[in-house]
Amino acid sequence: MVILSNTIRYNSYHGVYLNNGADAFLGYNTITNNCSNGTQAGVYCINNSDPFMRSAAPAPDYGNNYIHHNNGAGVKAIGTSYPSLGINFQQGTLKDYYGYNEIHNNGGYEVDNRNTSGTIMAECNYWSADHNVQANPSDVYGSVDYTPVLPENPNVVAGGNGRALLKSSIDFEEAVALENQGEFQSAADIYLKFLQADPDADNAGFGVSGLIRCYKGMERRREIPAVMDQFINDFPQTALAESAKDHSLPYLVQYGNHDTALSRVLELLSQKRNDAEAEPSLLFQTAGIYRLKSAGRAGDDFSNAQNTYQELIQKYPDSDFAFFARMDLEELGGSVLGRHATESNPNTLSQKSFELKANYPNPFNPQTVIRFHLTDEQPVQLRIFDAAGRLVRALAEKSYPKGEYAISWDGTDDRGLGVVSGIYFYKLIVGQQSQTRKMVLLQ
């Protein structure tokens, strides 16, 4: 998706939230005054989400984002996500360009890299509204490759790096430049060559992420689990193998290999216990895989899903994933501790009033049907929200006689524009009561 020339501000949560492989191009946006606390970010990337936020060759030209005065970090990445914020590289006619982003005066780190393996490339950006002000090493967290300040004349090389870089022996600049020009096979060959040559490199996670993007670009998604398996088998107990386990989870789930996905996520969870950055996501993924394995039937998997959701909600009640877990647990019929006061529990709703049923199909593409039942005539509102709680589409807003109803949603917003893949919520409001369920759009 392309997020271009927007002003994104005054959101109580993240400005831009990219989750579960939601790659994007961001350019010429002003992202400011977002986030209610320091754990959030102007641009938040999690679980294999790799946005491009830099100038590119050939056109279109992105980058030039103005990310400032957010209460949390400027750009934050976790869970094998590597936003691309600028690479100064040229080899013959092959060239990658600078970020040209202004990232400054945010409440947290300007660039916050919580990945355990991999460097975020953030070369040639401005780190102050005054373009001559040098970056401070305390402005970034984790492995971030940046030049302190982009010179006014970009043909002049800036001074030395502002910190001792955690840059590995692997240099993926040529691969990234080829990938950016759509030369996916050539880029994939370079990623693969360097990963196999140095599987314990600090930047292995970045290389795995780039290789996956290339396979997606070549429409070879189904091959990704096999490539990850090969890394795990050929290079055990290396940074490459550990990163491959993490990267493989969404693709194993997508193609129905739930047992392997569960084994891997439990292993990762055991390694990240009490890690406030990584554990919430891993708990949510674990619960989700248990839920898929249960197919909605009572048994150990079903109970494990409920218990894991409860653990997540109790341990990290304010995390992104606790919000999702509450919705999932409601669908499973479990009681939810720490519920938001504005939401009604579907299990306590009077069955004589209304019933909101599961949409079908779910996941869906491009259309799903939402059904509900009314026992008497009542005013009804049916609304679609995205994962950040923003209203996407008002599907119904009128009085309905008693009876069964089915309303279709085609994955478009109120302007008729198609929305991106991801988690959405549909909420039925009847009188003073409401009920919410989750659905997933897969493009």
DSSP letters for 294-327? HTT-SSHHHHHHHHHHHHHHHH-TTSHHHHHHHH
Beta-carbon contacts of 9 under 8 Å, excluding residues fewer than 6 positions away, are 15, 30, 31, 32, 33, 34
Intervals of the chain under pLDDT 70: 55-61, 89-98, 148-171, 320, 333-352, 388-389, 443
* Residue whose pair of structure tokens reads 């999702």 in the numeric block: 324
With respect to residue 47, please indicate whether it lies within any of the assigned structural domains. yes
Same domain, yes or no, for 129 and 247? no
Residue 45 lies in a domain: yes
Residues 153 and 72 in one domain: yes
Domain count, the chain: 3
Give the per-residue pLDDT at 10: 87
* Residue that terminates a domain, selected from 302, 331, 360: 331
Q: Where are the beta strands (DSSP E) in 252-401?
A: 354-356, 368-374, 378-386, 391-400
CATH code, domain with 372: 2.60.40.1930
Same domain? For 323 and 395 the reply is: no
Three-state secondary-structure class, residue 37 = coil
The answer to whether residue 132 sits within a structural domain is yes
Is the preceding peptide bond at 366 cis, omega within 30 degrees of 0? Answer: yes
> Domain boundary at 331, 363, 389, which?
331
358 and 213 in one domain? no
| Same domain, residue pair 370 and 221 | no
Last residue of a domain, one of 167, 182, 201: 167
Judge whether 148 lies within some domain: yes
Same domain, 276 and 223: yes
3-state secondary structure of 120: strand
d(CA 192, CA 87): 20
pTM: 0.61
Q: Based on the domain organization, do 148 and 197 belong to the same domain? A: no
Same domain, 47 and 146: yes
Sheet of strand 66-68: strand arrangement:
7-9, 30-32, 66-68, 102-104
User: pLDDT at position 347, please?
Assistant: 41
Examine the domain organization and report whether 139 and 55 are in the same domain: yes
Q: CB within 8 A of 66, min separation 6: which ones?
A: 29, 30, 31, 32, 101, 102
Considering the domain architecture, whether residues 197 and 288 belong to the same structural domain is answered as yes
Residue 179 forms part of a structural domain: no
List 18's β-bridge partners, or say none. 45
- Whether residues 306 and 393 share a domain: the answer is no
318 and 224 belong to one structural domain: yes
The two tokens of residue 88 are: 């100064």
pLDDT at 149: 62
**Rg (the chain; Cα; Å):** 23
> In terms of residue numbers, what domain contains 413?
346-441
**Is 394 part of a structural domain of the chain?**
yes
Say if 340 falls within a structural domain: no
Question: What pLDDT is attached to residue 223?
Answer: 94
Q: Residue 61: its pLDDT value, please?
A: 60
3-state secondary structure of 439: strand
Query: Position 323: which residue type?
Result: F
CATH number at residue 259: 1.25.40.10
With beta carbons less than 8 A apart as the criterion, state whether 141 and 115 touch: no
- Number of C-alpha atoms within 13 angstroms, CB side, residue 298? 2
Contact 380, 366 (CB under 8 A): no
C-alpha 433/C-alpha 352 separation (Å) is 12
